[in-house]
Structure 1
């Protein structure tokens, strides 16, 4: 297991984060949730930047807060704030990266900068939001890491650039033994890129599911009040009152298709499932 958060708790004033999470090898895991849900705190815990109040956070089988330089070199991270001074030029980052990462692939990094039109002799502060996002991902990919931790890596990118970045990440995953943990508010990225999803809401995991299962087995029943009363509610996760009756989220879509052929059952996107989990009512 590359990453394991076991009965982990972290508390701040007015906020508590409680997580059990596992990131195996050869998997892309998506972390979803509203701003303030705890995603960034989770990434900081994985990187050993902060310590949990309770439980354990392990990376590569070791306590995250006690990782040595060799372990840290196996992690590539991309955040909205790269951590480098924006007065630096990309050319000036190359010797810095070479010093910190013995496996820094300078030639490949330069080639990717040219491919994504990242100028080497321009200060980072002059870059657009999209250019900064591209640079952060290219830096994370520039050394031979086993684990990528990416916080909103496609934010600010147009559709073409976003797909190019995702293609790079797919290439990264072609080598066995690697994994990616990624957060994104763009559901399309998660639906077509992640193997599984963790949803954090108000500091707790409210959903952990394989992405394919969400897309194939989750669905929405659109029923009248009379149909709702006659419905077997065992496999309903959330319910919302609508003008026509009720909208019901289920993770057993086929059960209702087979046993209630007269009702409307619609496929839901990841965004729609997330919205219902947050806003719908528990039975």
Structure 2
């Protein structure tokens, strides 16, 4: 559905060098701290910036061959973009109908009502969360095959986030669809994504299936003496702490079985991000 191969973009003090793939039937997450390259990656996919190298393939076509009809098969939410604040939703509906042949007007209206989005109020008067809900609902409104969602749950309260994630799961029940989503809220990714890429300083530093991350990865809490004698083959990163060392491993069971005196915790995605970025190899 989507393939990036050695995509490069150079700015002063930053260089993107990204390879990733989103397969049909999968929700793929892109995680990393602010400024890591997530939004630059999305902009490259959408042709909003000129690449300095590499290739992008969307829905089986090279990026330069993507036409207007292909774009109708994509639903997009960007973290730093949105609809004109001077429009009302009532004004937006004819625009969406003209843009997308498969625009589902009645369903769009129903979901706007469900999320308490007023039809006759200017979008500039919406809260940040309301604007994000509207963006996501518009992306879901026209039977897109591929969703590109940059921080879609940002600004939403926990109830709205849960409802939105349910909508995305329902969207994926139909065959022939896929999602690339970035988020800094780890619980969203753990409950939604099939696989995850981690990006830091413009480079992909980790790729793994979400189930493997949650089942096999872990954090060792070791004293200096314990740290000095453990096998390092399965240690991905380590970090000096007040008590000794925290160590990230992709073989939690190995250390549980062979080092019963060392505390081994089941890590979450937040801890994984912190250890991969701040830890030493």
Please state which band the TM-score falls in when normalised by the shorter chain.
over 0.9
**Residue 205 (1) aligns with residue 204 (2):** yes
- Greater Cα offset, 133-142 or 78-87: 78-87
The 5 Å alignment of 1:251-266 reads 251-266=250-265
In the alignment, the residues of structure 2 paired with residue 83 and residue 150 of structure 1 have an alpha-carbon distance, to the nearest angstrom, of 12
Q: Given that residues 218 and 248 in structure 2 are in contact (C-alpha distance below 8 angstroms), is that contact kept between their aligned partners in structure 1?
A: yes
The 5 Å alignment of 1:176-255 reads 176-255=175-254
**Residue 138 (1) aligns with residue 137 (2):** yes
Number of positions where the alignment pairs a residue of Structure 1 with one of Structure 2:
281
In the alignment, the residues of structure 1 paired with residue 153 and residue 146 of structure 2 have an alpha-carbon distance, to the nearest angstrom, of 18
In the alignment, the residues of structure 2 paired with residue 33 and residue 275 of structure 1 have an alpha-carbon distance, to the nearest angstrom, of 9
SS of structure 1 residue aligned to 2:20: strand
In the alignment, the residues of structure 1 paired with residue 98 and residue 261 of structure 2 have an alpha-carbon distance, to the nearest angstrom, of 66
Structure 1 runs of 4+ off > 6 angstroms?
A: none
The 5 Å alignment of 1:117-156 reads 117-156=116-155
For 2:8, the equivalent position in structure 1 comes to 9
CA deviations over 1:36-89 (Å, ceiling 9, x no partner) = 111111111111222321110110121223310111000000123444211001
TM-score by length of 1: 0.97
Q: Given that residues 148 and 179 in structure 1 are in contact (C-alpha distance below 8 angstroms), is that contact kept between their aligned partners in structure 2?
A: yes
For 1:173, the equivalent position in structure 2 comes to 172
CA deviation after TM superposition for structure 1 residue 111, in Å: 0.8
Q: Given that residues 150 and 182 in structure 2 are in contact (C-alpha distance below 8 angstroms), is that contact kept between their aligned partners in structure 1?
A: yes
For 2:75, the equivalent position in structure 1 comes to 76
SS of structure 1 residue aligned to 2:156: coil
Point out where structure 2 has 5 or more consecutive residues left out of the alignment: none
Q: Given that residues 238 and 250 in structure 1 are in contact (C-alpha distance below 8 angstroms), is that contact kept between their aligned partners in structure 2?
A: yes
SS of structure 1 residue aligned to 2:247: strand
In structure 2, the CA distance between the partners of 1:251 and 1:257, relative to structure 1 (3 Å rule), is: same
CA deviations over 1:251-280 (Å, ceiling 9, x no partner) = 011111111122111111100011011111
What is the RMSD of the two structures over their aligned residues, measured on CA atoms?
1.1
For 1:23, the equivalent position in structure 2 comes to 22
In the alignment, the residues of structure 1 paired with residue 117 and residue 79 of structure 2 have an alpha-carbon distance, to the nearest angstrom, of 16
CA deviation after TM superposition for structure 1 residue 105, in Å: 0.6
CA deviation after TM superposition for structure 1 residue 230, in Å: 1.3
In the alignment, the residues of structure 2 paired with residue 260 and residue 143 of structure 1 have an alpha-carbon distance, to the nearest angstrom, of 54
In the alignment, the residues of structure 1 paired with residue 2 and residue 171 of structure 2 have an alpha-carbon distance, to the nearest angstrom, of 18
SS of structure 1 residue aligned to 2:18: strand
